[in-house]
Structure 1
C-alpha cells in the first residue's frame, strides 16, 4: 500500500531532469544527441555539474532517471525523423503543386505532431508549462497559415492584374472599344 501512495504523490510531479537549470539540461541533451560518451559517463558529468552549481544532493540524477529521459528523448527524436521523412516524401510528391497546398500539408502535420506530443505515454496530463508552450506553438502555426494564405492571395491578385493589363494592351491593339476593353479587364480581375 505504501508504494501505491508513493505513485499517487509523485504522479504529475516534474522529473529531476525537468527541474535542472537550462545550461545543465542543454549539456545533458547535447550529450545524449552526440552519443560519443556512454550514459554512465554522461551521468557522472551531469551530476558533477549539479554539484558545481550548488544544487542539493537530491537533485542528482539516477541511472534509471537518466535512462528514462534518454528513452523518452530517443522516442521524440524518432518521431521527428519520421515526420521529416514523411514531409520530404509529400513535398517531393507535391513539388509541382501550388505552394499553398504544400504549406497546408506541412502545417497539418505539425499540428498532428504537436497533439501527439501533448499526449503523455502514461496517460497523465501534460504539465502547465508544456501546455502553454504548445498553445504558443499552435498560435504560431495558425499565424503562419494565415500569412501563407494572405501571401497566396496577394500573388494571385498580382498575377490577375498583370494578365488584365496585358489583355488590355492586346485588346486596344486589336481595335476593341473602350467598353469592351474595360469589360475584358474586369472579367480577368473578377470584378462584377
Structure 2
C-alpha cells in the first residue's frame, strides 16, 4: 500500500482553502486582529467548528495555520507596499477628479493584482496574466485623462457663466442706485460660486 504524503502537492488546495466560507471568514478576521496569537486563533477556529457541528476532519493543523498566516502576511505586505506607492502617485495628482468608471477599473486592477500575487505565492511557476492588468491600468489612465478634461471644461463653463452673471448683476445694481461697495460685494459673491 502506498504511503500518503502529508506534504501538499502542486495544485492541491490546502485544508484552510477548503474551509466553509463562514469559518474562513472568521479565520481571516482573527488573523487580521493583531492581538490574537496563532494558538488563540487555532483554538477559536476549532471551537467554532465544534459549535457549528462540522466534522473534526476540517479542523486546520497548527502547521497549516502557520503556513496560511505566513502566506497572508507576505501578501498583505505586498498589498501595503502597492497601496503606499498608489497613495504617493495619487498625492501627486492632488484633487483632480476620478470618475466612477475609472474607480471601478482601478479596483478591478487591484483585485487582479491581488489574485496574481496570491497565485504567485502559491505556485511560483504559475502563469500570471500581466497583460490583462496592464490593459486595465491603461484604460484607467485614459478614463482619468478624459475625466480631467471634462472637469476642466466644466470649470471653464461655470466661470464664464459667473462672469456673465456678475456683469449683469453689476449693471442692474448700478441702475438701482446701489453703492459701488455693495455692487462690488454682490459681484464678489457671484464670482465666488464659480
Query: If the length of structure 1 is used for normalisation, what is the TM-score?
Result: 0.57
Gap regions ≥5 residues in structure 2: 165-194
| CA 1:118–1:31: 2 relative to 1, 3 Å | same
1:16-74 CA-partner distances (Å, limit 9, x unpaired): 21121222112111111112232112111101212222322221110000000110111
Structure 1 segments unaligned to the other structure (5+ residues): 169-192
- What is residue 79 of structure 2 aligned with on the other side? 80
The verdict on how the C-alpha distance between 1:21 and 1:165 changes in structure 2, with shifts beyond 3 A counting, is same
Match for residue 181 of structure 1?
none
CA pair 8-80 structure 1, distance change in 2 beyond 3 A: closer
2:32 corresponds to which residue? 33
SS class of match (1:19):
coil
Matched residue, 2:123:
122
Pair 1:151-2:152 in alignment: no
| Higher alpha-carbon deviation: 61-70 or 141-150 | 141-150
Whole-angstrom CA distance in 1 between matches of 2:162 and 2:44: 69
1:28–1:138 CA distance, 2 compared to 1 (3 A): farther
User: Aligned pair count?
Assistant: 155
The answer for the alignment partner of 1:44 in structure 2 is 43
The answer for the alignment partner of 1:110 in structure 2 is 110
Q: What is the CA–CA distance in structure 1 between the aligned matches of 2:118 and 2:9, rounded to whole Å?
A: 21
Shift of the alpha carbon at 1:75? 0.9
Q: Within the alignment, does 1:89 sit opposite 2:85 as a pair?
A: no
CA distance in structure 1 between the aligned counterparts of 2:138 and 2:52, rounded to whole angstroms = 40
Task: Report what 1:171 is aligned to.
Answer: none
Deviation at 1:113, TM superposition (A): 3.3
SS of residue paired to 1:70:
helix
1:119/1:125 contact within 8 Å kept: yes
Aligned residues of 1:111 and 1:138 also touching (Cα < 8 A):
no
Residue 59 in structure 1 maps to residue 58 in structure 2: yes
